[in-house]
Structure formats: C-alpha cells, structure tokens
Amino acid sequence: MSKPSPPPATAPVSGRASLWMRLVDYAGLLGALVLLVAIFSSLSDHFLSLRTLTTIANQIPDLTVIAVGMTLVLIIGGIDLSVGSLLALSAAVLGVVMVDWEWPLWAGVIACLATGTATGLVSGVISVGAGIPAFIVTLGMLEVARGGAYLITDSQTRYIGSAIEGIGEPLGVLKVSPAFLIAVGVVLAGQFLLTRTVFGRYCIASGANESALRMSGVDSRPVRIAVFGISGLMCGLGGLMQASRLSSADPNAAVGLELAAIAAAVIGGTSLMGGRGSVINTFFGVLIIAVLQTGLAQAGASEPVKRVMTGAVIVVAVLIDAFRDRIRGSFANIFQKLLRRKTS
C-alpha cells in the first residue's frame, strides 16, 4: 500500500499563481541585493570589482551550507542553536585526526562529516523522541560541542596546512574556490530535496500542521530527526570548508554563526513558525548579509556599526515576514482573478 499524501501546508492556489509568487519572491530579493551593490558602489570605488565579488564568494561557503541546514530545521518548526559549535567540533576532529594521528585527507573528511552528522542526530533524537523543545536541546548541545572541541584540541589550534588548502583556494578565470562551487551545489540539492521529493513535502507539512500530517497516517518523527541529521552534516561540511580557508582547525571558530544562519533564512522568507521556506531564497539571504558586511567594511564602518546595521536588516526582514502571508494572499487573489477573466 502506498503512503498517503501529506495535507496541504497552505491555502490552495493554482500552479501558475504559485509559480508567479515564487518569481515575485526571487525578484524582491534580487532587487534588494542589486540595491545594496549600487549603494556600496557609490560609496567605494573598489566595491564593484571582480576582486571584491570573488572575495565575497570565497568567504561564504561555510555560512551557505549551514544556512541550508538551518532552513530545513526552521521549516519543520524547529531551531538549531548549536550549528556554530558543531562546526567547530567537526573542524577540531578534522585537525586532530590529520595532524595528531596523521590520517589521510579522505579519512579526515569522513571523520569530520560523521562527527557533524552524529551530533545533529543526537539533538534530533532527544528533541523529537523525548518531545523536548529544540531550543533547549540545541542550546545544551551548543555548550557540549564547544566544550568537546576544546577538550580534544587541548584548546589549541591545529595547523593542517597544504593538505586541505586546495578546497578553499580560488581557481580558474573566475577565481572562485571549489568550496563555493560545492556550496552552490548544496543549495540546488537542498531546493530539489525540499520541492521535488516526498521527504520535502513531509518537512513542509510537518512544520505547517503536524497533527494533520499524523492524522493522515504519516509518522513525522523520522523525518524531523533526519532533518537535524542533515543540519549536522552541513555543520561537518562547513567545518571542512572553514578549515580549508584558514588552513587550520580552530576550536574558537564560528562563534555566533547560528545567528547569521538564522538571519539568512529569515531574510530569505523562511518562517520562524515553520511550514514555509526556500533554500534558494536563503542563498539570497546569505548574499545580502555578505554584501552588507563587506560594503560596510569598505565604507569604513566600525564593528559596532556593522552589527547594528545587520541587526536592523534582520528586524526589517522579520517585519516583512509578519505581513508576508497577507501580501502574498492579496497578490495571489489578484493573479487568479486575472486568470479567470482571461479564460472566461
């Protein structure tokens, strides 16, 4: 017997109206990105250059993959506050096994990814299995993972060197790193998983109305645990990317990265209440944050000013998100009326 389909997550709209609304979302985020580039280009003669743009591209792979995992967690109605510490722990394991134990790169990569995945699954099993809010579980895991990173490295940075630098070094005419290309591939894979698979439909339905999903005969717990595992896997991949860029594994790395990942997802329109989100839109959110921080730095803004501006953008994004459903509903109704007039 085939599994029943999950209930619809949102009010039904026609396929063309839904496509049109997604294009509106993409256009809005792309417009905001272009506006930021235009503003900072007018403030600095060096901003709109290939060097600046490639530097931004090569600095965001770890945040990008972490934000992809965070988007999936938010869509199921959860949150993961431990991603920065899981990244540091995964990178610390990579550094220890390659420097202290002299493991080859491929074995170090497996250990790094396995560490992130396992810790993510532990958070998922405790949160979903025991019914404890993810906020509390991942807050505890934040301290456990950070402490673990300090313990296994004896609070010392492990310099890995050339063995891992190739992943983060720019290559080719465009001067982007393999890590950036991998991150773009992860974004596309995440969007495909979310929009073209049964797993993705269960994720959205679980965040929108878990009770309805359960009444339709679907146990959402394995899906929710798997999402935390995917988030952990992204932390391991992010740790690998950051270690390659820094040529070392630092147990103090990625402090506060969880806030940047949540901000990228929220700016991209992912609902903090669950049930709605887009991985591609989150990638736009990552780009907006990166352009904002780089532009402010080139304009000579101090670190406090950069934090204030970044926080202001997040608050604006949350306000827009609060009215998003009303705005989208109005646009969808207008578009469907136009379609009916055209076909009548």
pLDDT of residue 1: 40
- Does 4 score more than 70 pLDDT? no
- pLDDT of residue 48 exceeding 70, the answer is yes
pLDDT given at position 316: 80
Using the predicted structure, report yes or no on whether residue 11 has a pLDDT greater than 70: no
**Percentage of the chain modeled with pLDDT above 90:** 57
Q: Is the pLDDT of residue 285 over 90?
A: yes
Domain limits, the chain: 42-320
| Band of residue 344 on the pLDDT scale cut at 50, 70, 90 | low
> What is the mean pLDDT of the segment spanning 134-144?
95
Contact 121, 228 (CB under 8 A): yes
Reply yes or no on whether the pLDDT at 30 is more than 60: yes
pLDDT confidence of residue 18:
66
Q: Residue 107: its pLDDT value, please?
A: 96
| Confidence band of 113 (pLDDT split at 50, 70, 90) | very high
Window from 58-62, 173-177, 233-237, 244-248 with minimum mean pLDDT: 173-177
Decide if pLDDT at 43 tops 80: yes
Q: Average per-residue pLDDT in the chain? A: 87
What is the CA angle 134-250-118, rounded to 5? Answer: 40
**Res. 103: pLDDT tops 80:** yes
Q: Which one has a higher pLDDT value, 318 or 265? A: 265
What was the pLDDT predicted at 2?
Answer: 46
Neighbours of 247 (CB within 10 A): 15
pLDDT at 7: 47
Beta bridge partners of 257: none
Place of tokens 């009770």: 211
Lowest mean pLDDT among 26-35, 69-78, 199-208, 214-223: 26-35
Q: Can you tell me the mean pLDDT for 127-144?
A: 94
For residue 115, give both structure tokens: 């560490």
Q: What number is the average pLDDT over the span 246-264?
A: 91
Pick the CATH number of 42-320 from 1.10.3470, 1.10.10, 1.10.287, 2.40.50: 1.10.3470
Please give the average per-residue pLDDT across 219-236, as a whole number.
Answer: 96
